[in-house]
């Protein structure tokens, strides 16, 4: 690429290839276009779903091209790698020249160049050259960083040079650096970090998680215990908050404790634990009402699934055995239903169905007791995302440098102005012109503004 003369040195040819801005544009274009694929084809889905959606032929084709996990494919990574090499080579290639401009002690100015500028503006004054020079100098010194006065070539006056924003030319290199930091941080994260998830029922603990997009499990250096899980809802039914009370244990001893919600994770030993999802596990405890058919006496009893309780007036036991989210009765859905067994001391055991929504359902059994559900506590499991990313510091540094770098590159232009004060006949002519590394229209305005200010002083 580029118009390099045919060179025999392969390294030089390669260097020229990577120093080309055309390569940058082509790479960015390829990255932009190929990135679209991964937004249209869902990534890392179930192969069976892909087969159904695309058919055998396209499935094989897409699979061969790694399109089901394209952002981690070898060719996408290669493109990113080429871009990094391109950025580094381009920056090195151009930094030298920029460095000379930015750090030169005594910058050279060429008055002829300013005379030819289209933004050059002139006005006349009655004052003498030296008088004007003395009046202008303080303003110029205030508005610009470097300034210097030279006699002009015609010998009838002086040129006042000034400049500012030299360092703005370095902005683009910091942006390039930031991009490299982002990709470096990404590599560190994927090499030395992990990203997994685990579901923990309330009251239980685990130290093993499943890794995302990999068929692998990972043992953590500590145990996560979910002490409690709460979910609250708005009146509209939309979820308001998911909250898990977590305790981290090391050899059985608590080392950290926190209630986590979405957007507020628990961080410990470089590992972060995020509230990601939730699920229901069936009931934790149920409050039952026992009604004596003869006396109409009512008793409330709390029962835990699997644990028998005594009947209110004695004479038997009752146990809640099962819970169904949607039970069927005469092929009709009767909703959430508890199933239990009543064992009288003087008779055979009876099966009891207790639909939550139909408290009178058990009357059909015609037993001594009518049992119904008053209320029950749901038992949840919390879905946690567990991740470790040692590259985040590098990435965040890249973020900050990128924002500062973009600002400097775009909005700190390197501006140079030349104010020529020359005596002609009985008038003094003042000519103002300026060059800039950014924003030519802005420079035109700046020249006009400067002229307005100088006119007031003249």
Partner 1 sequence: MTSSTILSVITFVYAAAAFFYILSIVFKKEAAGKIGSIAAITAALGNLTGIILRWIESYRLGMGHAPLSNLYESLVFFAFAIVVIYLVIERKYKRRIIGAFVTPLAFAAMAYASLNPNISDQIRPLIPALKSNWLIAHVITCFIGYAAFAIGFGLSIMYLFKARAGSNPDSVLNQLPRIELIDELTHQVVMFGFLFLSMGIISGSVWAYSAWGRYWGWDPKETWSLITWFIYLILLHCRLMAGWRGTRIALISIVGFLAVLFTYFGVNYLPGLHSYGVGGS
Among 11, 57, 74, 234, binds partner 1 (CB under 8 A): 234
Structure tokens at 24: 């940058």
Among 13, 94, 9, smallest CA distance to 1 is for: 13
Q: DSSP string spanning 100-163? A: HHHH-SS----HHHHHT-TT-EEEEESS-HHHHHHHHHHHHHHH-SEEEEEE-TTSSEEEEEEE
Neighbours of 43 (CB within 10 A): 14
Q: Closest CB to partner 1 among 63 and 440?
A: 440
Q: Single out the segment in contact with partner 1 by CB under 8 A; choices: 318-326, 341-349, 369-377, 403-411.
A: 403-411
Distance CA(255)–CA(270), nearest Å, equals 14
- Closest distance of CB 440 from partner 1, Å: 6
| Residue 38 binding partner 1, by CB under 8 A | yes
Distance CA(436)–CA(290), nearest Å, equals 89
| Residue 35 binding partner 1, by CB under 8 A | yes
Q: Closest CB to partner 1 among 239 and 347?
A: 239
The site that binds partner 1 (CB under 8 A) totals a number of residues, namely: 53
Q: Closest CB to partner 1 among 260 and 356?
A: 260
Q: What share of the chain is helix, strand, coil (3-state, %, to 5)?
A: 40, 40, 25
- Return the bridge partners of 358, or none: none
Cα radius of gyration (the chain): 39
**Interaction pattern, residues 58-77, with partner 1; x per rule: CB under 8 A:** -------------x------
Distance CA(278)–CA(244), nearest Å, equals 10
| Residue 402 binding partner 1, by CB under 8 A | yes
Q: Single out the segment in contact with partner 1 by CB under 8 A; choices: 35-43, 162-170, 310-318, 340-348.
A: 35-43
Structure tokens at 174: 């910091």
Among 99, 192, 299, 411, binds partner 1 (CB under 8 A): 411
Q: Which residues contact 213 (CB under 8 A, 6 or more apart)?
A: 44, 69
| Residue 440 binding partner 1, by CB under 8 A | yes
**DSSP letter assigned to residue 264:** B
Q: Single out the segment in contact with partner 1 by CB under 8 A; choices: 28-36, 306-314, 318-326, 420-428.
A: 28-36
Distance CA(15)–CA(450), nearest Å, equals 44
What is the H or E stretch that residue 92 is in?
helix 74-103
Q: Single out the segment in contact with partner 1 by CB under 8 A; choices: 268-276, 308-316, 322-330, 350-358.
A: 268-276
| Residue 168 binding partner 1, by CB under 8 A | no
| Residue 392 binding partner 1, by CB under 8 A | yes
Q: Single out the segment in contact with partner 1 by CB under 8 A; choices: 148-156, 247-255, 336-344, 391-399.
A: 391-399
| Residue 174 binding partner 1, by CB under 8 A | no
| Residue 48 binding partner 1, by CB under 8 A | no
- Closest distance of CB 299 from partner 1, Å: 40
Among 113, 240, 293, 424, binds partner 1 (CB under 8 A): 240
CA 183 to chain centre: 14
- Closest distance of CB 281 from partner 1, Å: 20
Q: Closest CB to partner 1 among 356 and 387?
A: 387
| Extended beta strands in 363-450, E state | 369-388, 415-424, 427-436
What is the H or E stretch that residue 335 is in?
strand 332-344
| Residue 216 binding partner 1, by CB under 8 A | no
| Strands 350-355 vs 369-388: parallel, antiparallel or unpaired | unpaired
| Residue 84 binding partner 1, by CB under 8 A | no
| Residue 389 binding partner 1, by CB under 8 A | yes
Q: Closest CB to partner 1 among 262 and 364?
A: 262
| Residue 385 binding partner 1, by CB under 8 A | yes
Q: DSSP string spanning 233-261? A: E-TTS-EEEEEEEEEEEETTEEEEEEEEE
Distance CA(327)–CA(338), nearest Å, equals 9
- Residue carrying the six token digits 């009985």: 426
| Residue 17 binding partner 1, by CB under 8 A | no
| Residue 262 binding partner 1, by CB under 8 A | yes
- Closest distance of CB 42 from partner 1, Å: 5
| Residue 309 binding partner 1, by CB under 8 A | no
Residue ranges binding partner 1 (CB under 8 A): 21-22, 24-25, 28-29, 31-32, 35-36, 38-40, 42-43, 71, 186, 195, 234, 236, 238-242, 261-265, 272, 274-276, 385-387, 389, 392, 395-396, 399, 402-403, 406-407, 410-411, 439-442, 445
């Amino acid at each position: 690429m580029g118009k390099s003369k045919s060179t025999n040195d392969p390294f030089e040819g390669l260097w020229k290839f990577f120093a080309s801005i055309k390569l940058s544009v082509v790479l960015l274009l390829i990255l932009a276009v190929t990135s679209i694929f991964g937004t249209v084809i869902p990534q890392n889905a179930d192969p069976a779903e892909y087969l159904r959606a695309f058919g055998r032929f396209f499935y094989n084709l897409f699979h061969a091209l790694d399109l089901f996990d394209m952002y981690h494919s070898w060719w996408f990574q290669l493109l990113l790698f080429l871009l990094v090499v391109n950025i580094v080579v381009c920056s090195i290639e151009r930094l030298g020249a920029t460095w000379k401009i930015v750090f030169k002690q005594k910058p050279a100015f060429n008055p002829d160049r300013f005379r030819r500028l289209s933004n050059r503006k002139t006005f006349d004054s009655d004052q003498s050259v030296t008088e004007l020079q003395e009046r202008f100098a303080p303003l110029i010194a205030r508005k610009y960083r470097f300034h210097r006065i030279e006699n002009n070539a015609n010998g009838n006056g002086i040129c006042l040079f000034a400049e500012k924003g030299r360092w703005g030319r370095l902005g683009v290199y910091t942006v390039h650096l930031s991009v490299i930091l982002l990709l470096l941080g990404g590599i560190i994260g994927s090499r030395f970090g992990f990203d997994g998830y685990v579901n923990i029922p309330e009251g239980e603990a685990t130290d093993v998680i499943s890794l995302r997009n990999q068929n692998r499990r990972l043992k953590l250096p500590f145990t996560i215990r979910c002490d409690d899980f709460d979910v609250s809802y708005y009146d509209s039914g939309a979820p308001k908050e998911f909250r898990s009370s977590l305790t981290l244990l090391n050899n059985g001893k608590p080392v950290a404790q926190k209630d986590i919600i979405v957007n507020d994770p628990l961080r410990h030993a470089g590992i972060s634990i995020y509230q990601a999802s939730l699920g229901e596990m069936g009931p934790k405890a149920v409050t039952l009402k026992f009604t004596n058919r003869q006396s109409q006496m009512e008793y409330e009893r709390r029962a835990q699934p699997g644990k028998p309780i005594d009947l209110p007036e004695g004479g038997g036991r009752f146990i809640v055995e099962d819970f169904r989210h949607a039970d069927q009765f005469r092929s009709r859905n009767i909703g959430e239903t508890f199933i239990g067994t009543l064992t009288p001391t003087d008779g055979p055991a009876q099966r009891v169905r207790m639909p939550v929504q139909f408290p009178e359902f058990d009357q059909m059994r015609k037993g001594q007791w009518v049992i119904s559900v008053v209320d029950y506590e749901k038992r949840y499991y919390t879905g946690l995302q567990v991740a470790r990313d040692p590259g985040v510091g590098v990435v965040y540094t890249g973020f900050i440098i990128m924002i500062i770098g973009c600002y400097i590159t775009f909005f700190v232009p390197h501006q140079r102005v030349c104010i020529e004060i020359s005596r002609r006949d009985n008038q003094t002519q003042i000519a103002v012109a300026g060059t800039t590394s950014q924003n030519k229209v802005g420079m035109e305005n700046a020249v006009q503004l400067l002229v307005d200010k100088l006119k007031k002083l003249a």
